[in-house]
A and B are shown apart, each in its own frame.
Chain A
Amino acid sequence: MYSPNQKPFFSSTTYIVLDALFVIFSALYLMGDADHMDNFLKYVKAVPVWILVVQLIPLRDIHRHITTIIVGLLFGSVGDMFLLWGDNFICFALGALSFLVGHIFYVTAMVHIAEDLA
């Protein structure tokens, strides 16, 4: 699945460790009380997305739209934080807006990369 240890890629072991961390932090967040997230585990909500960003940052020069996907991921994590901060209209709307902008970045990246593939 993973490419050989060639720059700018990390080593296969690093990807496996980062993916394991992704799963661990996702599980940690899910282990918190999902209904009343008032314990410290809620603060790890965005960490799995940051781990994906760390994996993609060295690859951003290979194709310009990998950066677009990184920006989409970051908007997703900003949306996470807004939804985490409060259960009111403003936080929900700002969270939704962040996810919306993230989705627009994803669509832009997918369509442009697909055009470059064709």
Chain B
Amino acid sequence: MENVLKTYPLYIIIWLLLVMFSFFSISTLNSNLSGTDPIRYVLDLYGTILVLLTMGGFFFFFTGRTVSDSSYWAGLLFMFGSLVFFFSDNFLAHGKYNDTYKHRVTASTNAYFIMITYYAAQFMIGKGAYFVAVHFREA
């Protein structure tokens, strides 16, 4: 991890952008909820894990992209898979708890946003695992 942080300042910039967006996203959602609503805690915890997942994907890409062709593809798929998951879960949360978002995007359209990004994310993470297997089989 230290080497990645030293070698790729871009990694830190991406991390900061994701954290900033997550703070914005979660605070927007919380402003739509009452102070005692237990879903606040679920959203806070979920947002934190979601940032970790996305950074895990970027970390994998920056670590493994030069090791082999297969690890490059695995990294690319994990990175985009986790990033797309980040957006999918944001669509889900805002579609459910953000009144402004609900006025702008219909529930039906949002359901498509959620599911298309969700399936794409799962596919990319699954295929990333496949390329991990190809790499370690060849190694």
Task: Give the dominant DSSP class at A's interface.
Answer: helix
- Min Cβ gap A38→B in Å is 13
Among B60, B108, B126, point to the contact of A55 (Cβ < 8 A): B126
Q: Contact size class for B?
A: 35 or more
Cβ-based interface call for B133 (8 A):
yes
Interface residues in A, total, Cβ within 8 A: 46
Please list 20 pairs of residues, one from A and one from B, whose beta carbons are closer than 8 Å in the complex, sorted by A's number: A6-B137, A26-B115, A26-B119, A29-B115, A34-B107, A56-B130, A62-B137, A65-B132, A69-B126, A69-B129, A89-B38, A99-B46, A100-B45, A103-B49, A103-B50, A103-B53, A110-B59, A113-B64, A114-B64, A118-B63
Task: Give the dominant DSSP class at B's interface.
Answer: helix
- Decide: B133 and A62 in contact? CB cutoff 8 A: yes
Known: A96-B42, A100-B49. A66 touches B122 (CB 8 A): no
Cβ-based interface call for B123 (8 A):
yes
Among A35, A62, A111, point to the contact of B59 (Cβ < 8 A): A111
Cβ-based interface call for A52 (8 A):
yes
Interface string of A5-27 (1 = CB under 8 A from B): 01001000000000000100010
Interface string of A66-100 (1 = CB under 8 A from B): 10011011001000000000000100110011011
Residues of B with C-beta under 8 A to A63? 132-133, 136
The distance in angstroms between the C-alpha atoms of A49 and B120, with both chains bound, is 10
Residues of B with C-beta under 8 A to A76? 122
Which residues of A does B touch, CB under 8 Å?
3, 6, 9, 22, 26, 29-30, 33-35, 48-49, 52-53, 55-56, 59, 62-63, 65-66, 69-70, 72-73, 76, 89, 92-93, 96-97, 99-100, 103-104, 106-107, 109-111, 113-118
Which residues of B does A touch, CB under 8 Å?
3, 38-39, 42, 45-46, 49-50, 52-53, 56-57, 59-60, 63-64, 67, 71, 74, 78, 82, 85, 89, 96, 106-108, 111-112, 115-116, 119, 122-123, 125-130, 132-137
